[in-house]
Structure formats: C-alpha cells, structure tokens
Amino acid sequence: MCRTTPSAGRKGRPRSAEADAAILSATRQALVDLGWSKLTMGDVAARAGVAKTTLYRRWAGKSELVVDAVAVLFDELELPPDRGSLAADAEYVVLQFAALLERPEARTALMAVVAESTRDEALRTRIRHAIVDRQKRLVLEGRRRAQERGELPYESDESAAARTADLIFDVVAGAVVHRSLVSAEPVDTQWARAFTVLLLGGLAAATGFAPSPR
C-alpha cells in the first residue's frame, strides 16, 4: 500500500499505523466534501491531524492516495448467499455496483483516477490491482454458480473462458458506469432488469423478436 515498506529498515521509530488509517479515512471524507479536483494533499493532512511530510512518506501523490482510499469500498461488493438464478445474481450485482457509484467518494474518484491513468502506466497498474481485478471474482463466482445450476456450460477451453469472463466484466461494469456517470441516469430496478435480459438473451430478448444472429 505504501510507498516504501517500513519493515525494510528495522531501526528507528516505526511508522504509525493509526496515521495510515486516519489518512485514508480523511481522504474519503475530503472526497465527499470537496470532490476529486478540489481535494488537496494539505487539506487531507490537516483533516487527518498529520503533517504533509507524513503523507508524502507513504504515497507519491494524490492519485495513489485516492486509489488506496477508495479501493476498500469496492471490496465491499459481494454476491449474496443464493438468489436462485443467473439473472437474479446479475441483477443483484448490477444494483449493488450502482449503489456504490451513488456514493460521492466513489463517484468522483473512479473516473478521475482512470483519467489520470491514461498517461501513467504505474497508476494504471495500481488501479488494476487495487480495484479492477478484484471485482472479476464476482463474474467468476456468478458463472460458477450458473454452471452448477446448469444455466451455463462448463467450458473446456480455459483461455476462451477467461476471455469471455473479461468480456462480461467489461460489459457489466461499463454499462453501469456509463449509465450512472456519463448518461447520468438512475440505475434502478427497471433498468437493471432490462439490462439483465439483454445480457442473457441478447437483442432478441430485449426487443421481443427473433433475429438471426450471424
């Protein structure tokens, strides 16, 4: 999480663990109060009751700090014990993800760090490890359940299966993010249901027609 591992050097005063927690918490609160672009390192330090140097000793800059601060929010996403069908699981995940994107700290931070990462390879990697990759478990777990239920086949080609999982992930996450942040329309139950129908059944199902797919 931190810039340099404090356990590397063994002598001297160890870094305060409380400070870390206070900083990340202060960062989230500052995101709520100010939004990404008005958030400043100095303000976070003041909120956390910490000197600016203490921040910079742990994080290289605002982007890295914010990625770590919001990453834990995404870890709260979970599949519920059992919803009975792939459609129900998908709908549940969509609504849960949408609820997360309603939180102002996630809302303002997510797009901002992604934008920042378009010109910063290290940041891109950090986002991927801290946020993106960890949510793919939802797709994998959903597929596993659907396969157990017999809703989806067990695929023999593992790399093809991985590609499909990535595709599903981009479609689901992308659609929800786009609806919520770009189109700025609510992701409510009605939309989630329509999206799930489209996802599972394609345009055929979404329009009540039987096209002849290629």
Contact residues toward a copy of itself (CB under 8 A) are: 35-37, 85-88, 104, 107-112, 114-119, 124, 127-128, 132, 146, 151-153, 155, 163-164, 166-171, 173-179, 181-185, 191, 194-209, 211-214
Provide, rounded to whole angstroms, the least separation between the CB of residue 178 and a copy of itself: 3
Torsion of CA 171, 174, 178, 179, to 10 degrees: 50
- Is the Cβ of residue 76 or residue 121 nearer to a copy of itself in the bound state? 121
According to DSSP H, which parts of 150-188 are helical?
158-177
DSSP state at residue 61: S
CB of 19 to DNA, least distance (A): 4
Query: Which residues contribute to the site for DNA (CB under 7 A)?
Result: 6, 9-16, 19, 38, 40-43, 49-54, 56-58, 61-62
Q: State how far the Cα of 70 lies from the Cα of 73, in Å rounded to an integer.
A: 5
Helices marked H in 35-149 — which ranges?
Answer: 41-48, 52-58, 62-75, 86-102, 104-117, 121-127, 133-149
Structure token pair of residue 143: 């597929």
Between the alpha carbon of residue 124 and those of residues 14, 73, 128, 149, 180, the distances in Å are 30, 18, 6, 36, 22
* Nearer Cβ to a copy of itself (141/151): 151
Closer residue to DNA (CB): 15 or 136: 15
Nearest approach in angstroms of CB 145 to a copy of itself is 13
195 binds, among a copy of itself, DNA, none (CB under 5 to 8 A by kind): a copy of itself
User: Out of a copy of itself, DNA, none, which partner does residue 19 contact, by CB within 5 to 8 A per kind?
Assistant: DNA
Among DNA, a copy of itself, none, what binds residue 156 when CB lies within 5 to 8 Å by partner kind? none
The answer to whether 115 and 127 are in contact (CB under 8 A) is no
Given the complex with a copy of itself, which of 69 and 127 has the nearer CB atom? 127
Nearer residue to a copy of itself within complex by CB, 2 or 167: 167
Tell me the three state secondary structure of residue 59: coil
